[in-house]
Amino acid sequence: MFKRAWSIIVFCFRVATMIAAAGFWILHALRYGQTFLSAWWRVRNMHAGSTVRCSACHQNVETVGRWTCSLCRATYDGSVWRCGRPSCRAVTPYISCNCGHFIDNPFLTEVH
């Protein structure tokens, strides 16, 4: 009788442990899934437009056009945020507005 009761207690403990572990991993997946989706949504919206807004003068600054990479000196058409030359692919940390204010690369800012 005692052996059977003990095996039931052990079985219930194992089931409870598995449920708690499953809940932990589900919450973990939801948290990182939400972080990934918010980052993806922000990048998607950034690609939808070809300008960023300056926080100082509220002027739109072009981010798509013809650029010269300061690292490899290649001239390319495309986004200012990454060099278009496949062997370089340098990342621009910021661009400057006409007012002199610097605009950070939105792809490099952390998601919280």
Where are the chain's structural domains? 1-48, 51-104
pLDDT at 112: 46
Neighbours of 8 (CB within 10 A): 10
In 10 A of CB 84, how many CB atoms? 16
CA distance 70 to 80: 11
Q: Which residues contact 56 (CB under 8 A, 6 or more apart)?
A: 97, 99, 101
Q: Would you report the helix, strand and coil content of the chain in percent, each value rounded to 5? A: 40, 20, 35
Q: How far apart (Å, rounded) are the C-alpha atoms in residues 75 and 83?
A: 9
Give the Cα separation of 27 and 15 in Å (integer): 18
Q: Going residue by residue through the chain (112 aa), what tens digit of pLDDT does each one get?
A: 678 888 899 999 999 999 999 999 999 998 888 888 887 777 666 555 678 889 899 998 988 889 999 999 999 988 888 898 999 989 989 999 999 999 988 777 655 4
Alpha helices in the chain (DSSP H): 2-48
Please name every residue paired with 51 in a beta bridge, in sequence order, or none if there are none: 62
Report the predicted TM-score, pTM, of the whole model to 2 decimal places.
0.51
